[in-house]
Amino acid sequence: MKRSYSKYSAKDDLLWLILRPWIFIPRVLYILLTFIFLFLRILFQGNSKNKNVQKNLSKYLFDVITDLGPCFIKLGQALSTRPDLVRQDWLTELTKLQDNLPAFDHKIALNIIEEELGSPANELFEEFPDIPIASASLGQVYKAKLNNSYLAVKVQRPNLYFLIKRDIVILRFLGTFLSPLLPLNIGVGIGEIIDEFGKALFDEIDYQKEAENALRFANLFKENPNIFIPKLEKQFSSKRVITTSWIDGVKLRDRALLEANNLIPASFIKTCVISGLQQLFEFGYFHADPHPGNMFALKGGNADCGNLAYVDFGMMDTITNSDRLTLIKAIVHIINEEYYLLAEDFQKLGFLTKEQDLQKLVEPLKEVLGGSFGAEVGNFNLKNVTDKFSKLMYSYPFRVPSRFALIIRAVVSQEGLALRLDPEFKILKIAYPYIAKKLLTDNSEEILDILLEVVFDKKGQIQIEKVESLLNILFKDSENINSDLIPVANAGLKLFVSKKGSEVRKNLLLSLIKDEKLEFTDAKKLLSLIRDTFSPLNIAKSAVQNIISTT
C-alpha cells in the first residue's frame, strides 16, 4: 500500500503530540538528559590534550547525534562541513553523518521497494546487491544494474514520517521555551526558523517531490558543461524510492583524496561556489543541502573549472526576485562601502525592523565590514564576519528572517566544504568578481537599474571611483582579464547602442553638464579607464585564452 504524507503544520502537529503524552514527555526528557550529559562531557573533556580522550569524545558525539535520529543528524551534517568551527578530530567522526550511518535492515528495504514499485528488486533489476553502498539520515543507497548500466536506488528509512513529525514538534517546543537564553538575538524568530526546517524535511521525505526537483535543477544547468545532474529513472521512482543514473566520481570530502585521483581541488571549489551563486542570484532556486556527501568531483573539466555532480535534491528552496535583487545590491553596497544603503538592504530583507534608526548602524557596519575587499580581503570569510556580527547583534535588533534559514544553511555549508579542500579559501575572492561580471554583462532591466546606481550618483554624475572599483574587482588579475574581458566588452557595447541603453546615454550626456557648463573632466577619466582596461593587448590576451579554452 502506497503512503501519502501530509504537510508540516506547527499547530496541528503540536496538538497531535500533546494528545499523546506517553510519546511527548519521555522523548522531551530523553533529549534534555542526552544534551545535559553531552554538555557536561564536553565541558570536562573538551580541552583535553589526550588524543584517546578526544577520539572517544568524538565517537560519543557521533553516537549521540545518530541515536537522536534524522532531525538531529541533519543538524549534525551542517556542523560536519565547518572545519573552522569544529575540531579536526571531531570533524572526522562527524563527516560520517553525511553518508556513513548505520544501515537499516536489508529485508525491510526490499519490502519497501516491492510495496512502492510493485515488484521485487530482483525482478526489476538485473543485479541488486545485498548491502547498501551508502547510508544517510533519511535513506540508504544501493548500486543496482540494469541494461549494462549502473543505477543509484535510494530507499527511505522506515517510520521516517513519524520520527520527523515527533522531533520537529519537540525541537520547536524546546527552541521557543529556551529562546530567551539563546545568544545573538536568534531566539527572536527561532520558532519560525524551525518551521522552515520542518517544512524542508517534510518535503525531503517525499521522493516524488525530489524527482521533480531533480528535473528542474537539471534544466537550469543544462547549458553548463561543468555541472552534471544524474538522470532520473521515473519507472523506478515513487514516494519512498528514487532511482537515478549512477555517479562515478570522488566526493568533495578530502583534498588528499582528490589529488590522489589526479583532480585539482581549487577547480572544484570555483565550480561549486560559482554554481551556488548562480542558484541564488540568477535562478532563484537552490540546493539547500550542499554537503560533501551530495557533491562529486568528476573527470574532465580544466584547471580553472572542474566538472561537478550534484545529487540528492530533497532539500531545495527558492528565493524571491525581490530578495535576490536586494542581496545583489547589498553586495554592491559592501564593495562601495555604502553602509547606510547596506543598512537599508538589511531592513528591506527583514533583518532589521522598520522602526530601527539606520544612521546608528553606519559606524558599526563599517567596523564589521570595512575594507572587506581591501587590505582585509585575505582574512575575510563568513566565520570572521559572524564573529564580528555577534558583538553587533547584542547591541542592535538584528534577527534572522525564517525565509533565510535555508539560504544561510546552504551558503555556510558551501563555504565550509570549500574550507575543507582549501583552508585558505576566501569566498569574496570568487563572489565579488561574479557580482561585478553580472552587473557588467546582464542586461536585464533590474540589473541595469543596479548598474546605473553604481555608475551615476543621484544627480546623474559619473562616479568614476566606483566604476574603477568595479572593473578592478573583475580585472585585477590576468586570469580574469583573459576569461572575461571580451564578454564584458561585447555586453557593454550592445547595451550602449540598445533601447535599454537610452538611460545610460542620457545620464552620460547629463554628466557633462555641471553648473550649466560643459565639464569634460569626468568623461576624460572614464574614457581613460575604459581605454586602459580594454586595451588591444588585453583584448588579444582574451581572444587567445578563449581559443585555448574551446580547443
Specify the residue for cell string 575575510: 380
- Residues 400-417 as b/e (b if ≥16 CB within 10 A, e otherwise) read bbbbbbbbebbbbbbbbb
pLDDT average, residue stretch 496-521: 61
- Of 336-345, 384-393, 519-528, which has the strongest mean pLDDT? 336-345
Strands (E), 305-385: 307-310, 316-318
Query: Would you call 206 a catalytic residue per the annotation?
Result: no
* pLDDT: which is higher, 203 or 490: 203
117-163 pLDDT, tens per residue?
Answer: 999 999 999 999 999 998 888 899 999 999 989 999 999 999 999 99
Lowest-pLDDT range of 52-56, 88-92, 134-138: 88-92
Residue 510: pLDDT above 70?
A: no
Alpha-carbon distance of 351 to 326, in angstroms, equals: 12
- What pLDDT sits at residue 219? 95
- What pLDDT sits at residue 479? 47
Residue 499: pLDDT above 70?
A: no
Specify the residue for cell string 565550509: 416
Residue 501: pLDDT above 70?
A: no
Residue 534: pLDDT above 80?
A: no
* pLDDT: which is higher, 335 or 322: 322
* pLDDT: which is higher, 505 or 239: 239
Contact 486, 492 (CB under 8 A): no
CA 415 to chain CA centroid, Å, is 8
Contact 358, 347 (CB under 8 A): yes
For residue 413, what is its C-alpha cell?
555549508
Q: Is the dihedral of CA 438, 442, 446, 447 positive or negative?
A: positive
Tell me how long the chain is. Answer: 551
Using CA atoms in the order 448, 449, 455, 460, what is the torsion angle rounded to 10 degrees?
130
pTM: 0.80
- What pLDDT sits at residue 158? 92
Rounded to the nearest integer, the mean pLDDT of the chain is 79
- What pLDDT sits at residue 149? 93
194-249 pLDDT, tens per residue?
Answer: 888 888 888 888 999 999 999 999 999 999 999 999 999 999 999 999 999 999 99
pLDDT average, residue stretch 341-353: 88
pLDDT interval class at 435 (50, 70, 90): confident
Lowest-pLDDT range of 241-245, 362-366, 387-391: 387-391
Catalytic residue among 289, 312, 317, 484: 289
Lowest-pLDDT range of 7-21, 181-195, 412-426: 181-195
Contact 109, 155 (CB under 8 A): yes
Residue type, 69: G
The CB-side HSE value for 306 (13 A sphere, CA atoms) comes to: 24
Residue 400: pLDDT above 60?
A: yes
- What pLDDT sits at residue 4? 52
pLDDT interval class at 95 (50, 70, 90): confident
Residue 283: pLDDT above 60?
A: yes
Using CA atoms in the order 463, 467, 472, 478, what is the torsion angle rounded to 10 degrees?
-150
pLDDT average, residue stretch 63-75: 88
pLDDT average, residue stretch 362-382: 62
The CB-side HSE value for 405 (13 A sphere, CA atoms) comes to: 19
- What pLDDT sits at residue 80? 67
pLDDT average, residue stretch 275-287: 91
**Pairing between β-strand 307-310 and β-strand 227-228 as defined by DSSP bridges:** parallel
